[in-house]
Amino acid sequence: MYHATRIELKKLPSVANHTVRSAFSRNTNIRNPELPNMDAVIYGHIPTKKNVLDYSKLCGFDLKSENLPITYPHVVAFKLHMELMLHRTFPLGIMGMVHITNKITQHRAIKLGEAIDVRAFFAGANRTHKGLEVSLRTEIRIGMELVWEGLSTYLALLPSKGIEKKDAPQVLPENPVLTESETWTLPSNLGLKYGPVAGDPNPIHWGVLAAKAFGFKRHLAHGMWTKGRAASTAFKKLGSDSAEIYVEFKKPIFLPAKIELHFGESNGQVDFQVQATRNNDTHLMGYIKAI
């Protein structure tokens, strides 16, 4: 697809850069928001070994692996997503947008030290009774080979008057068989550790005071940390580097927390859920399967 505007980055912007720019982003057209025809690219990017190692430690991936964790490329993708949503032609303020679904397709493992070409672009929008769902697609190539794809959907809360409420399409199995579990204890400073590694500047993850300024009772764990942590367990069950992993983010995890991962394998697919130990609230649901 041809895009009228292209943002070409020579290097990934810093967290500080995105934090400052995010603070000044504002809604410009909530009545009829239209996504700009644009993409963002970076060529020849090589993730640093330290950043990959820090990410792997936080999410529980194999520290001795010669491959990038399957969810790690989203760290680069997210930087491009931010550039697109912080562009002056994007009609919505970025603060308050919520990540609601994420799908990753890894066609083959990406080796540490491999140079990757990353491209992200708006893949459509859907108006619902909650607001506007904005989808961004990411493609990662090494040479001409497509090795990794991602599709992230973010929700911008908008007035719902006159919008019909419809059930979302069924993607996940209704009653997955989850036979195994593990318990995670999440420290209060998890967001402060993960944010700089993942390049996520959202202050709702920093601490109680920052989170309260945006209407939350306490600070939250990053949704993509939760996906990465679940993936590090579920990925080991596949025996394949080529895989598809999809999640839906349900309820936020307020820090500190004790939560449980429940998972089970059936017909080559590992289904999983992340739930609170206190009240069984579901925070995340998803699956991973070999392709």
Q: Give the tens place of pLDDT for each residue, 104-130.
A: 999 999 999 999 999 999 999 888 888
In this predicted structure, the answer to whether residue 30 has a pLDDT above a threshold of 90 is no
DSSP assignment string, 114-161: --EEEEEEEEEEEE-SSEEEEEEEEEEEETTEEEEEEEEEEEEE---T
Sign of torsion over alpha carbons 196, 44, 123, 28:
positive
Would you kindly state where each structural domain of the chain is located, as residue ranges? Answer: 5-290
Higher pLDDT, 269 or 4: 269
CB contact set of 86 (below 8 Å; sequence gap of 6+): 18, 21, 22, 25, 94
Go through 187-206 and write b for each residue having 16 or more CB atoms within 10 A of its CB, e for each that does not.
eeebbeebbebbbbbbbbbb
CB contact set of 213 (below 8 Å; sequence gap of 6+): 203
- For the chain, the average pLDDT equals 90
| Residue located via tokens 């059936």 | 266
Residue 190: left if φ>0, alpha if ψ -120 to 50, beta else—which one? alpha
Q: Give the tens place of pLDDT for each residue, 77-103.
A: 999 999 999 999 998 888 778 899 999
Overall pTM > 0.95 = no
- Which CATH entry fits the domain spanning 5-290: 3.90.1570.10, 3.30.1960.10, 3.50.50.60, 3.10.129.10? 3.10.129.10
Higher pLDDT, 73 or 1: 73
pLDDT value for 146 = 98
pLDDT band with cut points at 50, 70 and 90 for residue 135: very high
In this predicted structure, the answer to whether residue 214 has a pLDDT above a threshold of 80 is no
